[in-house]
Amino acid sequence: MTTAPAPAPLKFTGSKYLVQRLVLATLTGRPIRISQIRSSSHTAPGLASHEVSFLRLLDAITNGSHIEFSYTGTTVLYKPGLITGSAAGHGASSGGVIRHELPADCTRGVSYFLLPLCLLAPFSKAQVNVLFTGPGVITSSTETGDISADTVRTAILPIFRGFGIERNIELRMLRRSNSGKDGKGGGGEVQLVFGHQVRLPKTLHLMSAGRVKRIRGVAYSTGVAGANNARLIEAARGVLNEFCPDTYVYSDVSSAPLIAAPERNNPSAKKKTGLGFGLSLVAEANTGVLYSADIASPPQGGEPPEDLGKKCALQLLESVSQGGCVSAVAAPTVLSLMAMGSEDVGRISIGKDVVGSEQVLQLARDLRAFGMSGWGLREGDDEEDVVVSIVGKGVGNVGRKIA
């Protein structure tokens, strides 16, 4: 009996959208080869520390994955295995928790790891329980474009309900942190528990965005005066109350995290890091549609809370004005889940600015490269919206067949 030859790896170039392609490879089981990763850089060629850390995370939650690097780190070959999650004996420590440490030179927020992990978790064989720890964890939004862990909890996790995935899902903020010096590391701690695994996500039909009925948010201060929260909230409410009187922003004040900083005379010395403040806002429509905005104080400081609060409120209004039933930060997650779903036509109304963004266009190309169906586009009822129709490929959860 001859076995079918393994499929040839799909070939991609460059470091952009590296995580997106690794996630799609894991979901579809297709091996990929990514070359020319920062090959033109003289100072830092090859994979960055956060990309290596993400590959380590993939290795921890899968069984049978094969990862090869070139000598310079500018080429990586990835052959995905089965997504096992935190199943005992597959990377999980005692208690079924995978402890994933982020290095001190990490410049990306923890949402860089959380978003792809949330996309993989429903297709896992067992529940996913990952604790992000170490000196590199940044829970706030970052200047590199990552959203805060608060926004993942309030604006990304609820959208899984539309796909029939809603039980035993929790994001715990154990220790907050902003970006540390030069935007590197923060010393925070976050735990994601994703215990609802499905064979196939339900087909989504979301055509009406409705009207915004309430705004919620979290203002946080880490290692700085709690008065910054009051100033952030007052500035944001000054803009938002005019549009939506039902606006409530929670205040969270915490001490700065301590990370190891050994000295010659004191090897066990520690120092404070991740000081700062920030604001996460979410607007909810009467149809359950969510829009979000995020802002945090820059690592070098110099921006007063009033300016940041107002800027975050205006960002939220801009997100609402883009229209559609999904915001720009949630669109890749929603569209990927629709492509993986059962073999039926799902439809969603999305704002033209969101559909036309570089990230969504690249996602459409990458999905085609991995054998998914193309998207159908037509004008929506609102002239600012486009209705995207996607036929699911029924890729689903291989592990659930034998679970």
List, for residues 346-364, the tens digit of each pLDDT value.
999 999 999 999 999 999 9
Q: Is 380 left (phi over 0), alpha (psi -120 to 50) or beta?
A: beta
Reply yes or no on whether the pLDDT at 312 is more than 90. Answer: yes
Mean predicted confidence (pLDDT) in 311-315: 97
| Rounded CA separation 363/366 (Å) | 5
For the chain, the residue count is 403
Distance CA 98, CA 399 (A): 19
Poorest-confidence range of 120-129, 267-276, 366-375?
267-276
Tens digit of each residue's pLDDT (9 = 90 or more) over 208-252: 999 999 999 999 999 999 999 999 999 999 999 999 999 999 999
Q: Which two tokens stand for residue 66?
A: 């094969």
The pLDDT of 16-30, averaged and rounded, is 95
Residues of the chain with pLDDT > 70: what percent?
A: 95
Query: Of the ranges 89-93, 109-113, 397-401, which one carries the lowest mean pLDDT score?
Result: 89-93
> How buried is residue 63: exposed, middle or buried, by Cβ count under 10 Å (0-12/13-18/19+)?
middle
User: Phi and psi at residue 131, in whole multiples of 5°?
Assistant: -105, 115
Query: Locate tokens 């929260």: which residue?
Result: 229
Which comes out higher in pLDDT, residue 7 or 38? 38
Asked if pLDDT for residue 185 goes beyond 90, the answer is no
Closest alpha carbon to 130 in 181, 171, 185, 161:
171
pLDDT of residue 95: 62
| Reported confidence tier of residue 302, pLDDT bands at 50, 70, 90 | confident
Task: Please say whether the beta carbons of 393 and 340 come within 8 A.
Answer: yes
